[in-house]
């Protein structure tokens, strides 16, 4: 057990000191530290399960929902998966020091743009203890110090996980303070963390709207909000309807609780009669609750579809519920997405290259799909390895936040007595 | 004259509508629009000078300083320079649509990362009317709509300049609302603008600390603060001392009122006796007021140097004043910069490659210089063409903010019925 005796500011200042060393640590040292963390997690399985047991017992006592208790609960398999995740991050290329651009000016001055760590990254998250290790490993690999702030419901688990990771990393040459953990006890702590702009370079909240609002009201540290996704699948008049059905089913059903799952289906009126009865039946059969606009209800036939109300078009269900509307044109679909989308992941299904191109150009979202499921918006699927979240912001990081997105850059300018005239 | 009858929100909403069209406008249309703006500025010289005359007269009546009146005043030469600046921006490569990355996943899914405009950029600035045209041209070329908010002291000039630019751009096919101007009348307007997060994607303030504080307190729209620069030149024990003297002089004297000018000189103790008497004399001769630490005073000889106080190390003079300290080592210089620098531009003068490398690695700033003046931190000097400011933030844009920094990206993902398993 780690007893937190330092103030939030002391933890952050110590992380900043560590960050200066971390920024220039050799890739080999970072990878060895990650391997040490993975080993230590597996070697400490008993200790982790004991601490987790305390959190789970307290959650049961507090009458927390079964779904949340499942997210909170660790077992040997989950600990092994954490260790495997750390090893996968060790195997990724080191983003630090990468040469992004190089130019030689006419006067002989050379300018190199080099990727460097941000410095100190704070991650604020809710019940799942595996985020502790994921986030710590991503920050370590990208040369950043991390300040973790989990929820109080996972305090024992997170404390032990952080202590194990920090100790293992230190034994491999990572500076003390590079992996730090706040107790998660009280709201003031969050506000204090969010205003440490002298020490903290970025906060990434992973959690619900309450957390986002609290940060938006108080943060002076830059924040990248991990996304909410009101994602659409648009079935164009030129769609391959069988492909469309499979894509809609996958986007809605394969994992409905995540931000890249589809929440609204838009169907061009010319194919509504052919497409909707079959698609709605398949969705219903997969357990999806359907909410349709007037024209959708006409095509529902024997399928149970409730009338959609205005709020449905703006709702991220994160559940087996889907809003469905018929649109008159590609332009109407694009307008609907502009009005209701959150800029996360938007898909068109079409065989018409011009329609696909128009959709790609006009839809303003992190990820725009043609003939593919929105579920691919994910660091691993994008070949980035692990991710720390998905951004729907336009500045800095858009889409999956991986190792490179945890970095900034600097310009190195070399001359030989160059002065400006 | 344009009479502002729309509310701030209406102006921003209209800019957002324009931005959807602008985002996919052909390069040729944007360049023709920029040429039309340049032509219109020159053809309307009389009208611009008349409006500017009203602002200048009001400023004189209000007893504004001569320096500020000079910044406010336009003449034929300055208008020609604005037009030439617009033509230079037209000649730059279009950043929009640039392919940043492309990958094909093992399952055949293709992912392209493409540069796209941010959408609507608001620029808040102080007296200089030429910023109106610079900023509008940069945003137009990068496919962004712009909402300009100048100061009330330049209201007539800015109104006329915006109206001329907007009219010329529209005549060439740019959508109405793409170049908009707020009256600059009252403080509420700034707060209203800074909270239009539904319509405005980025605010760039160009102005003093008061403006920054006002935005930090109220903005819900993302802000990139154009930088303040407490820049250092460090003369290493292995420096070419003649080169060092020229670099320090240039960094301090060539244009002291800008953010990339040096404010503190750090000198390694081993070369202080050789370097300081000569360098201080040269600086003093160039009119620089010197403030030295104890050891600097020892080496000042006949040169007039005032004792520095603690505040001097944190002061951005933006004037012919320089703080000077002797340090014991490269590490001490780096520590001093970490404690007092603002992450803008930092220089080392040395012939020792290892020292140069250490300085480049360890100094956390947008631009790190070896044997060159800090004055090169500038979009034009970096080969980016014009810039809209310099960022000392680490997220999104660091260093000069040019056309590419006014963009974000999106991922275009194409499959053939791909679903996630």
How far is Cα A418 from Cα B358, in angstroms, rounded to an integer?
20
Q: CB neighbours of B286 closer than 8 A, spacing ≥ 6? A: B249, B252, B253, B320
Q: Is the pLDDT of residue B406 over 50?
A: yes
3-state secondary structure of B321: strand
Report residue A1's pLDDT band, with 50, 70 and 90 as the boundaries: very low
Strand A179-182 versus strand A202-206 pairing type: unpaired
What counts of helices (H) and strands (E) characterise chain B? 14, 16
pLDDT digits (tens, 9 = 90+) for A380-392: 899 888 888 899 9
> In chain B, which residues have their Cβ closer than 8 Å to the Cβ of A247?
417-419
Radius of gyration of chain A measured on its C-alpha atoms: 24
Q: Is the pLDDT of residue B127 over 80?
A: no
How far is Cα A141 from Cα A92, in angstroms, rounded to an integer?
9
pLDDT digits (tens, 9 = 90+) for B380-396: 899 888 888 899 999 99
- CB–CB of B263/B227 below 8 Å? no
The residue-averaged pLDDT of A300-306 equals 93
In 3D space, the residue among A113, A420, A15, A132 whose CA is nearest the CA of residue B252 turns out to be A420
Phi, psi of A235 (to 5 degrees): -100, 110
Burial B378-410 (b: 16+ CB within 10 A, else e): bbebbebbbbbbbbbbbbbbbbbbbbbbbbbbb
3-state secondary structure of A262: strand
- CB–CB of A86/A38 below 8 Å? yes
Q: Is the pLDDT of residue A314 over 80?
A: yes
- CB–CB of A378/B378 below 8 Å? no
In 3D space, the residue among A399, A419, A286, A295 whose CA is nearest the CA of residue A345 turns out to be A399
Beta bridge partners of A115: A409
pLDDT digits (tens, 9 = 90+) for A157-214: 999 999 999 999 999 999 999 999 997 667 788 899 999 999 999 999 987 777 888 8
Report residue B176's pLDDT band, with 50, 70 and 90 as the boundaries: very high
Q: CB neighbours of B290 closer than 8 A, spacing ≥ 6? A: B280, B283, B284, B300, B303, B304, B305, B306, B321, B322, B324
> In chain A, which residues have their Cβ closer than 8 Å to the Cβ of B396?
395-396
Radius of gyration of chain B measured on its C-alpha atoms: 24
Q: CB neighbours of A299 closer than 8 A, spacing ≥ 6? A: A272, A273, A276, A277, A280, A326
Cβ separation B254–A399 shorter than 8 A: no
Cβ separation B246–A419 shorter than 8 A: yes
Strand B110-117 versus strand B407-418 pairing type: antiparallel
Cβ separation B413–A240 shorter than 8 A: no
How far is Cα A192 from Cα A185, in angstroms, rounded to an integer?
12
How far is Cα B235 from Cα B65, in angstroms, rounded to an integer?
37
Q: Is the dihedral of CA A106, A109, A110, A114 positive or negative?
A: negative
The dihedral region occupied by A399, where left means phi > 0, alpha psi between -120 and 50, and beta the remainder, is left
pLDDT of res. B184: 63
Q: Is the pLDDT of residue B4 over 80?
A: no
CA angle B18, B72, B35 (to 5 degrees): 40
In 3D space, the residue among B184, B183, B239 whose CA is nearest the CA of residue B355 turns out to be B239
- Mean per-residue pLDDT over chain A, rounded: 94
Q: Is the pLDDT of residue A227 over 70?
A: no
Q: Is the pLDDT of residue B67 over 90?
A: no
Cβ separation A411–B220 shorter than 8 A: no
The residue-averaged pLDDT of A390-409 equals 94
Cβ separation B417–A369 shorter than 8 A: no
pLDDT digits (tens, 9 = 90+) for A92-124: 999 999 999 999 999 999 999 999 999 999 999
How far is Cα B239 from Cα B371, in angstroms, rounded to an integer?
9
pLDDT of res. B216: 79
pLDDT of res. B83: 97
- Smallest Cβ–Cβ distance between B372 and the set A383, A410, A415 belongs to A415
Burial A180-198 (b: 16+ CB within 10 A, else e): bbbbbeeeebbebbbebee
> In chain A, which residues have their Cβ closer than 8 Å to the Cβ of B216?
220
3-state secondary structure of B7: coil
Residues in chain B: 421
- CB–CB of B231/B206 below 8 Å? no
The residue-averaged pLDDT of B90-100 equals 96
Report residue B5's pLDDT band, with 50, 70 and 90 as the boundaries: low
Cβ separation B418–A338 shorter than 8 A: no
Report residue B68's pLDDT band, with 50, 70 and 90 as the boundaries: confident
The residue-averaged pLDDT of A38-50 equals 98
pLDDT of res. A2: 47
Residues in chain A: 421
How far is Cα B88 from Cα A122, in angstroms, rounded to an integer?
42
- CB–CB of A110/A418 below 8 Å? no
Cβ separation B20–A119 shorter than 8 A: no
How far is Cα B84 from Cα B79, in angstroms, rounded to an integer?
9
Query: Predicted ipTM?
Result: 0.93
Phi, psi of A223 (to 5 degrees): -120, 135
Entry pTM: 0.92
CA distance B42 to chain A (A): 29
pLDDT of res. A68: 86
Report residue B227's pLDDT band, with 50, 70 and 90 as the boundaries: low
Q: Is the dihedral of CA A23, A201, A197, A1 positive or negative?
A: negative
How far is Cα B124 from Cα A138, in angstroms, rounded to an integer?
37
Report residue B399's pLDDT band, with 50, 70 and 90 as the boundaries: very high
- Smallest Cβ–Cβ distance between B105 and the set A338, A367, A383 belongs to A383
Cβ separation B254–A420 shorter than 8 A: yes
- Smallest Cβ–Cβ distance between B360 and the set A366, A373, A412 belongs to A412
Q: Is the pLDDT of residue B226 over 80?
A: no
Q: Angle, to 10 degrees, between the axis of helix B76-91 and the axis of helix B45-61?
A: 120
Q: Alpha helix locations (H) across A172-268?
A: 187-194, 209-218, 241-253
Q: Could you tell me the domains of chain B?
A: 8-226+401-413 (3.40.605.10), 231-376 (3.40.309.10)
- CB–CB of B45/B148 below 8 Å? no
Report residue B1's pLDDT band, with 50, 70 and 90 as the boundaries: very low
Integer distance in angstroms from the first to the last C-alpha of chain A? 61
> In chain A, which residues have their Cβ closer than 8 Å to the Cβ of B105?
381, 383
* Residues of chain A above pLDDT 90, percent: 82
- Mean per-residue pLDDT over chain B, rounded: 94
How far is Cα A101 from Cα B167, in angstroms, rounded to an integer?
38
Q: Where are any strands of DSSP class E within A295-352?
A: 305-307, 321-327, 345-349
Cα distances (Å, whole numbers) of residue A236 to A233, A324, A325, B111: 10, 14, 12, 21
How far is Cα A94 from Cα A97, in angstroms, rounded to an integer?
8
Residue in B197, B223, B225, B376 to test binding to A, most A beta-carbons within 10 Å: B376
Q: Alpha helix locations (H) across B303-352?
A: 330-340
How far is Cα B342 from Cα B392, in angstroms, rounded to an integer?
7
Cα B250 from chain centroid (whole Å)? 20
The residue-averaged pLDDT of A16-42 equals 97
What counts of helices (H) and strands (E) characterise chain A? 14, 16
């Amino acid at each position: 057990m780690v007893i937190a005796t330092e103030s939030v500011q002391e933890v952050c200042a110590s992380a900043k000191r560590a960050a200066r060393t971390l920024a220039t640590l050799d890739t080999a040292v970072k990878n060895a530290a990650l391997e040490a963390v993975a080993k230590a997690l597996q070697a400490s399985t008993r200790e982790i399960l004991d601490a987790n047991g305390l959190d789970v017992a307290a959650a049961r006592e507090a009458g927390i929902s079964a779904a949340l208790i499942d997210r909170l609960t660790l077992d040997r398999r989950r600990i092994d998966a954490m260790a495997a995740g750390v090893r996968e991050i060790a195997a990724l290329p080191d983003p630090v020091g990468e040469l992004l651009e190089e130019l030689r000016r006419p006067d002989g001055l050379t300018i190199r743009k080099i990727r460097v760590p941000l410095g100190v990254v704070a991650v604020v998250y809710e019940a799942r203890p595996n985020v502790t290790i994921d986030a710590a490993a991503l920050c370590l690999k990208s040369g950043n110090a991390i300040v973790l702030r989990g929820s109080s419901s996972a305090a024992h688990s997170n404390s032990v996980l952080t202590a194990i990771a920090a100790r293992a990393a230190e034994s491999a040459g990572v500076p003390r303070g590079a992996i730090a953990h706040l107790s998660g006890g009280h709201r003031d702590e969050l506000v204090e963390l969010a205003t440490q702009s002298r020490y903290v370079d970025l906060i990434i909240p992973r959690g619900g709207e309450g957390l986002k609002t609290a940060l938006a009201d108080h943060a002076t540290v830059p924040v990248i909000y991990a996304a909410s996704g009101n994602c659409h699948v648009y079935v164009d008049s030129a769609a391959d309807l069988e492909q469309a059905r499979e894509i809609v089913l996958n986007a809605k059903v394969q994992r409905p609780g995540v931000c890249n799952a589809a929440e609204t289906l838009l169907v061009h009126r010319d194919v509504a009669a052919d497409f909707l009865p079959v698609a709605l039946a398949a969705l219903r059969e997969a357990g999806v609750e359907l909410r349709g606009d007037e024209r959708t209800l006409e095509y529902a036939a024997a399928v149970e579809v409730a009338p959609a109300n205005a709020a449905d078009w703006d709702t991220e269900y994160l559940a087996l519920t889907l809003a469905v509307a018929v649109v008159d044109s590609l332009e109407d679909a694009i307008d609907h997405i502009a009005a209701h989308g959150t800029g996360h992941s938007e898909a068109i299904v079409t065989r018409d290259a011009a329609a696909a191109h128009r959709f790609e150009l006009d839809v303003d979202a992190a990820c725009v799909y043609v003939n593919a499921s929105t579920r691919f918006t994910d660091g691993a699927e994008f070949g980035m390895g692990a991710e720390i979240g998905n951004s729907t912001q336009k500045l800095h990081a858009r889409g999956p936040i991986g190792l490179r997105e945890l970095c900034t850059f600097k310009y190195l300018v070399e001359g030989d007595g160059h002065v400006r005239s």
